[in-house]
Amino acid sequence: MSLRPRGVVFDLDGTLVSNMALHAEAFRVFVERHGLPPLDAGLRGRLDGKRNTDIFPILFARTLSSEEQRRFADEKQSVYRELSRGRLRPLPGLERLLAALERREIPVVVATSAPTENVPHTLSELGLEGRLTRVVQSDSVPRGKPYPDVFLAAAALIGVAPEQCLAFEDAPAGIRAARAARMTCVAVTTSFSLAQFEAHDARPDAAVADFEAFLAGPGAWLQAD
C-alpha cells in the first residue's frame, strides 16, 4: 500500500462533492413517477457507483431496450441537474488537496460512472471545470464499476502505473473497482460508513470523512516542506 502516489484518481459524485442525497432525491422522484418500489438502503448499496446501463434494469427488474435506457437516463439526470443547480459545494479540503498535488506535480484524473451530461454540470457547479480537465467515464470502457476498467483507463490517461495510483471513492462498487485495478484506495465516507463498505466486501486501505481529514492524517506528507 502506498499513500505517496505518483498519480491520483478521483471519483466524482459523492467524492469531490457530497451530492448523493440529491441523486437519491432524483431517483425518488423517478421511481414515484414510474410506480416502482421505493429505494431502501440495501438497493442503494447495489446501485451506487454503477452506470445507468446497469442501474435501470435493476430498478425495473427486467431487460430494457436501448431506447428505454436512453429515455430513463435522460429523465432521471434532468431531474438531478435541476435539483442540484446552485446547491453543490466541493468537499471540505478539496482545494487544499488539489493545490498540494499541483505543487508536487502529481497528475490527477477523474474516473466516474456519471453520465456525459452530468460531468460538465457538476464540475462547473464546483468551479472546477478548468482545473480537472482529464476525465474518464465508465460509459467509454467495456465494463463499469466494480470492474477495474475505468480506473485502468484513468491510469493510462495520466501515464502512471495503476499500482502507483491513489484512488478516492465513496461507493462500495468503486472501492472494489479500484482494488481490482491494484490501486491504493481511500474511502470517503460521505455516503457509506466503513462498516457498510465492509458489508459490501469493499475494503479500502484507509477511510476519511473528507479531504481535510485526509490531509490531517494519511495525506499529511503532502503539506510537509
- Specify the amino acid at residue 101: L
Entry pTM = 0.85
Which of 67, 84, 101 is the endpoint of a domain?
84
Residues 6+ apart with CB under 8 A from 155: 7, 9, 109, 161, 162, 165, 181, 183
For position 37, which CATH number holds? 1.10.150.240
Tell whether 62 and 98 lie within a shared domain: no
Number of domains within the chain: 2
Per-residue pLDDT in tens (0 to 9) along the chain, 225 residues: 557 899 999 999 999 999 988 988 998 999 999 999 888 777 777 777 677 778 899 899 899 999 999 999 899 989 999 999 999 999 999 999 999 999 999 999 999 998 888 999 999 999 999 999 999 999 899 999 999 999 999 999 999 999 999 999 999 999 999 999 999 999 999 989 999 999 989 999 999 999 999 999 999 999 886
- Angstrom distance (rounded) from CA 146 to CA 83: 27
